[in-house]
Amino acid sequence: MLGRNACKTSAFSFLAEQMWGPLCSRPVRPERWCSQQSCAHRTSNNTIGGGPLENHYRLKQFHFHWGAANEWGSEHAVDDHAYPAELHLVHWNSVKYQNYKEAVMGENGLAVIGVFLKLGAHHQTLQRLVDILPEIKHKDARAAVGPFDPSSLLPACRDYWTYPGSLTTPPLTESVTWIIQKEPVEVAPGQ
């Protein structure tokens, strides 16, 4: 059973556990990448579709949620068990909307893939992101990472839970299709 971390929101009211089969993910390596804010490069064609998604959604940005304590950093919880951290890959509906701003406010505008992180083995792709974090000192700063495939951040097993919901941060619009990967990926404690 999947739930939202009660410390952060009690708005979680609906869950449909459904097996849609693996998403078709068609990553094309972007020229460069940025950690926090927008990265709407025209050349970047990272899209997802299939499963619960009627249209293709384009990757906009990704970010991490983590807590001060190792046990309780993820935004979602499974059987009341939270993970140390959670990665969000934010995609927008580039078929239905002109741009990300419109998609945020609109119906079926966003699709967010959530990946739980648990402590374990060293994760090489993740380490490349951690390495560039010191370069990102301002909210809108960007940093070059070089080519990398965001699908390498996903777990080997692509089973997931999905439910329609809202953004967990303002503007909190009900525009999001959540896709939560069941299997966590491992990161080293130092990462």
Applying CB under 5 A, the residues found at the interface with Zn ion are: 88
How many residues appear in the chain? 191
β-sheet bridge partners, residue 115: 87
Nearer to Zn ion by C-beta: 32 or 88?
Answer: 88
Token digits for 153? 């951040």
Q: How far is the CB of 42 from Zn ion (least distance, A)?
A: 24
Q: How far is the CB of 88 from Zn ion (least distance, A)?
A: 4
Nearer to Zn ion, 8 or 32 (CB): 8
Q: Least distance (Å) from Zn ion to the CB of residue 168? A: 6
**What does 25-48 look like in DSSP terms, one character per residue?**
EE----S---SSS----TT---EE
Confirm if 49 and 76 have CB atoms less than 8 A apart.
no
Which of 36, 146 has the CB closer to Zn ion?
Answer: 36
For residue 189, whether the previous peptide bond is cis, meaning omega lies within 30 degrees of 0, is no
Residue (3 or 29) nearer to Zn ion, CB: 3
The minimum distance between CB 75 and Zn ion, in angstroms, equals 6
Q: Is the dihedral of CA 71, 74, 75, 77 positive or negative?
A: negative
